[in-house]
């Protein structure tokens, strides 16, 4: 892996540490890709999907913290409980209205969450991002269960498109 100029391929793949036993919200693998038009995110859990999964997007490096969050609520097993909105630090949003995803899918066993949404949902100060980086955090009742790659830390920058 090189950190030379920051942005590289249009995908971030992360193998997270997993516990010995499967438990809700233990992040196993994350794969985020950002094409010209669509962002695809896939989060695999070591165990079941937790109550809340927040994917924080950093699109502006001059501004501290994430600019956007894609938040999924596993509220009774529905798969339409995801929205994308502006982030306020790494706090878990209660609801949001900026963007609805194109698709959300939870695998039968509830161990893989996949969602797709428009890159336009990450437009910041009038500009679509040309690169981004991501943090994934799982919560249950506002208690953090796991965070990838680490708490309040982002993965590497990768190019969009
Ligand atoms: Ca983990
Ligand atoms: Ca930022």
DSSP string, 117-144: EEGGGG-BTTB--SEEEEEEEEEETTEE
Which ligand ends up closest to the CA of 59? 2
Cα separations in angstroms, 161 against 118, 125, 140: 12, 19, 34
Phi, psi (rounded to 5 degrees) for 58: -100, 115
Instruction: Supply angle C-alpha 56, 62, 65, rounded to 5.
Output: 25
Which ligand ends up closest to the CA of 157? 2
Please state, for a pLDDT cut of 70, what percent of the chain lies above it. Answer: 91
What is the average pLDDT across 101-105? 93
Which ligand ends up closest to the CA of 64? 2
pLDDT tens across 50-68, in order?
A: 999 999 999 999 999 999 9
Whether this model's pTM surpasses 0.85: yes
Phi, psi (rounded to 5 degrees) for 121: -65, -20
Cβ 101 vs Cβ 115: under 8 Å: yes
Q: What pLDDT does residue 55 have?
A: 98
Distance 56 CA to ligand 2 centre (A): 10
Q: What pLDDT does residue 109 have?
A: 87
pLDDT top residue among 45 and 108: 45
Instruction: Supply angle C-alpha 99, 69, 45, rounded to 5.
Output: 110
pLDDT top residue among 6 and 155: 155
Distance 153 CA to ligand 2 centre (A): 12
In the sheet with 103-106, reading across from the earlier edge strand, the strands are 11-15, 27-34, 38-45, 112-118, 103-106
Which residue has 């830390």 as its token pair? Answer: 153
What band does 4 get if pLDDT is binned at 50, 70 and 90? very low
Give the CATH architecture of domain 11-148: Sandwich (2.60)
Average confidence score pLDDT of the chain: 90
Q: What pLDDT does residue 8 have?
A: 53
What band does 95 get if pLDDT is binned at 50, 70 and 90? confident
pLDDT tens across 37-53, in order?
A: 999 999 999 999 999 99
Q: What pLDDT does residue 81 have?
A: 87
């Amino acid at each position: 892996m090189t950190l030379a100029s920051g942005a590289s391929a249009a995908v971030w793949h992360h193998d997270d540490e997993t516990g010995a036993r499967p438990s809700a919200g233990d992040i196993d693998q994350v794969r985020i890709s950002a094409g010209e038009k669509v962002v695809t995110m896939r989060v695999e859990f070591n165990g079941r999907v937790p109550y809340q999964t927040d994917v924080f997007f950093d699109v502006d490096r001059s501004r501290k913290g994430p600019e956007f969050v894609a938040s999924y609520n596993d509220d009774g097993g529905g798969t339409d409980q995801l929205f994308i909105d502006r982030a306020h630090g790494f706090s878990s949003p209660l609801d949001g209205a900026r963007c609805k995803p194109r698709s959300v899918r939870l695998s039968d066993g509830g161990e893989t969450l996949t969602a797709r949404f428009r890159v336009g949902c990450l437009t910041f100060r009038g500009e679509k991002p040309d690169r981004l980086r991501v943090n994934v955090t799982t919560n249950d009742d506002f208690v953090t269960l796991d965070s990838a790659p680490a708490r309040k830390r982002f993965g590497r920058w990768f190019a969009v498109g």
